[in-house]
Amino acid sequence: PRPIPPIFPNPSSSSDFPTGMSRVQSFINAFQYNYTSHPFVKPKKTGGSRHMGEIYERLLALSLPIQCVEAVFIASILTAPFKDVQRLPLSFESKCEGHLYKHIVLAVCCEGKWGSLGISRRGTLMDKPLSFPSLWALIEEFESSYQAVGHSLTLVAPGAPMPHDFYSVDMPILWKALRLRLGSKQSTLSKLDLEKFLQSYALDV
Establish whether 103 is a catalytic residue: yes
Report how far apart the first and last C-alpha atoms of the chain are (Å, whole number): 40
Establish whether 99 is a catalytic residue: no
Q: Which of 91, 94, 116, 120 is catalytic?
A: 120
Establish whether 49 is a catalytic residue: no
Q: Which of 76, 91, 94, 103 is catalytic?
A: 103
For residue 140, give the H/E element and its range.
helix 135-148
Amino acid at 153: L
CB-CB contact of 163 with 153 (8 Å): no
Dump strand ranges (E) for 43-98. Answer: 86-96
3-state secondary structure of 199: helix
What is the distance of C-alpha 87 from the center of its chain? 7
CB-CB contact of 82 with 17 (8 Å): yes
Q: What are phi and psi of 100, to 5 degrees?
A: -100, 135
Q: Which of 68, 91, 94, 145 is catalytic?
A: 68
Amino acid at 176: K
Q: Under 8 Å CB-to-CB from 39, ≥6 apart: which residues?
A: 66, 67, 69, 70
The set of catalytic residues is 68, 103, 120
